[in-house]
Amino acid sequence: MQYWSRGGACFFLVKSLSDRSLHLFGGDQGPFLMEKGLKCGVGHVFGDVGAVFTALRPRLLNHFAGVCAPAP
C-alpha cells in the first residue's frame, strides 16, 4: 500500500480457483481483497494472461508518461 499511496503503479493479479479466470485489482484495493476476497467486486476479470497485459499496457503508459514527463 505504501508504494501505491506514493504514486507507484502496482496491481494485484489473482487467479480464481473455481473458474480459473484472472482478476486484476488496483494497488489500493488490498484491504478489500483481504476482507472479502474476489467477492469484493471491484476488480476486472480476464480469461487469459494476454488479455490482462492488453488492459495493463495503456494504464502503465499513462502512468509513466506522467511520472517521467520532463520538468517544466
CA-based angle 51:8:24, to the nearest 5? 25
Cell for 61? 503508459
For the chain, give the number of residues.
72
Residue 28 within any structural domain of the chain: yes
Domain count, the chain: 1
Distance CA 39, CA 35 (A): 9
Q: Is residue 51's pLDDT more than 90?
A: yes
Domain that holds residue 19: 2-67
Could you report the per-residue pLDDT of 31-44, keeping only the tens digit for each? 888 888 888 767 88
Could you report the per-residue pLDDT of 55-70, keeping only the tens digit for each? 888 888 887 776 676 7
Residue 72 within any structural domain of the chain: no
Residue 24 within any structural domain of the chain: yes
Could you report the per-residue pLDDT of 4-24, keeping only the tens digit for each? 555 666 788 889 888 889 998
Residue 27 within any structural domain of the chain: yes
